[in-house]
Amino acid sequence: MTLTPTQLDRYKRHILLKEIGGAGQQALLRARVLIVGMGGLGNPLAQYLAAAGVGTLGLVDDDCVDLSNLQRQILFDTHHVGAAKIDVAAARVKALNPDVEVICHPHRLTGENAAALIDQYDVVADGCDNFETRYIVNDACFHARKTLVSGAVGQFDGQVATFKPWLRDGDNVPLPCYRSLVPAVPDDDGEDCATLGTMGAVAGMIGALQALEVIKEITGCGESLAGKVLIFDGLRAHARTVKLAWDPANPLNGTGKNG
């Protein structure tokens, strides 16, 4: 695949980066990324990945735009209230970059459809709004050996992690999966952003960080976040990256399992 003159112009700032270059840009144009959830994380993910020239973007969401979404879901305008989120997002992405093919999956990701859905993509970016779906995404990505870049936000805080649990580290210990970070659904799972509130700009930060990690996984540039968690604390304006160890007790790739 050769970059056209228009593409050379559009992606000039990427191509100038020695870590990306023409080869990295071509890898992005060939890549297929699935974005789970079109909320505060899915919005900047779709925007930055589309702008970056990721060739195929799959969008999963079954929700419609609500007025209370607009405080943080920056793809949506006031007149979009009531419209299907992925229809609006797909139109915005296509308008932003005609190089991007958008595939709409207007339903929830479930244990029944996850494997077939994820199989169509190279990398999965999870920005969904509940722990149950996060486990389904994690498990399906593990079985299909697809890189998972997971993002989550609280009120003023956020976390980003990359999971490749079928790989092993230098000591032959498996890399962790999401179940090594969150072993069980927390007791207060009912307390979501709808009840606790959330800072829109933090969702923008975490979604943009996820987009960066997706781009790094596709192009191979920099250092993968696999085996680590980036924790952002917006109130303290502080971020740190911590090591996440594999938990041998986790039911997916724990001791005696197929990891």
Per CB under 8 A, residues contacting another protein are 37, 39-42, 72-73, 127-131, 134, 151-154, 157-159, 180-184, 186-189, 192-193, 198, 200, 202-203, 206, 229, 231, 240, 242-249
- Interstrand relation of 101-105 and 123-126 (parallel, antiparallel or unpaired): unpaired
Contact 47/93 with Cβ under 8 angstroms? Answer: yes
- How distant, in Å, are the alpha carbons of 186, 188, 254 from that of 131? 8, 11, 20
The DSSP 8-state label assigned to residue 31 in this structure reads: -
> Minimum CB separation from another protein for residue 247, in Å?
4
CA distance 90 to 56: 11
Q: Which two tokens stand for residue 256?
A: 């005696």
> Minimum CB separation from another protein for residue 221, in Å?
24
Q: Which is nearer to another protein, 4 or 68 (CB)?
A: 68
Buried b (16+ CB within 10 A) or exposed e, 249-258: ebebbbeeee
> Minimum CB separation from another protein for residue 131, in Å?
4
The DSSP 8-state label assigned to residue 174 in this structure reads: B
Q: Which is nearer to another protein, 10 or 92 (CB)?
A: 92
> Minimum CB separation from another protein for residue 26, in Å?
31
> Minimum CB separation from another protein for residue 15, in Å?
32
Q: Which is nearer to another protein, 37 or 58 (CB)?
A: 37
Q: Which is nearer to another protein, 171 or 187 (CB)?
A: 187
Give the three-class secondary structure for 181: helix
Q: Which is nearer to another protein, 20 or 89 (CB)?
A: 89
